[in-house]
């Protein structure tokens, strides 16, 4: 996941190429902005659905009362391992939900995608079985 994070950061934070390289890339990989907007909206819907269902089922899948408590997790590399309380797990999931809404509406998309990527990687670190 470290390499994935570095590639995402590189792609999101690097400036767009200029000159002949830009023309070549546009000719090879040029896309209509409307299709990119549709992809962003669908990505926002998908991440919002994921965040919403994780909030709803936090007690079952992520809390200490659920079927995969923290004592059964072999590693401790997630922010969701800090607490086993359902309330606090839901509070930790709220920024993920906000990031998905930001992706959906297109406000600060790069930052919202980075936040979403961070939360998904942390959620996978908490429970790899979902």
Residues 6+ apart with CB under 8 A from 40: 103, 104, 106, 109
Sign, CA dihedral 50-76-2-87, equals positive
Three-class SS of residue 112?
helix
Does 95 score more than 80 pLDDT? yes
pTM of the predicted model, to two decimals? Answer: 0.73
Give the model confidence (pLDDT) of 33-43 as tens digits: 777 788 889 99
């Amino acid at each position: 996941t470290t390499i994935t994070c570095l590639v995402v950061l590189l792609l999101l934070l690097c400036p767009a190429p200029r000159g002949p390289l830009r023309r070549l890339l546009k000719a090879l990989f040029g896309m209509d902005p409307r299709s990119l907007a549709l992809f962003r909206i669908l990505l926002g819907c998908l991440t919002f659905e994921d965040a919403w269902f994780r909030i709803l089922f936090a007690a079952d899948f992520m809390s200490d009362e659920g079927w995969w408590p923290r004592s059964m997790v072999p590693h401790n590399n997630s922010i969701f391992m800090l607490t086993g309380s359902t309330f606090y797990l839901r509070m930790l999931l709220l920024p993920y939900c906000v990031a998905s809404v930001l992706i959906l509406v297109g406000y600060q998309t790069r930052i919202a995608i980075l936040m979403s990527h961070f939360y998904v990687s942390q959620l996978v670190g908490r429970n790899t079985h979902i």
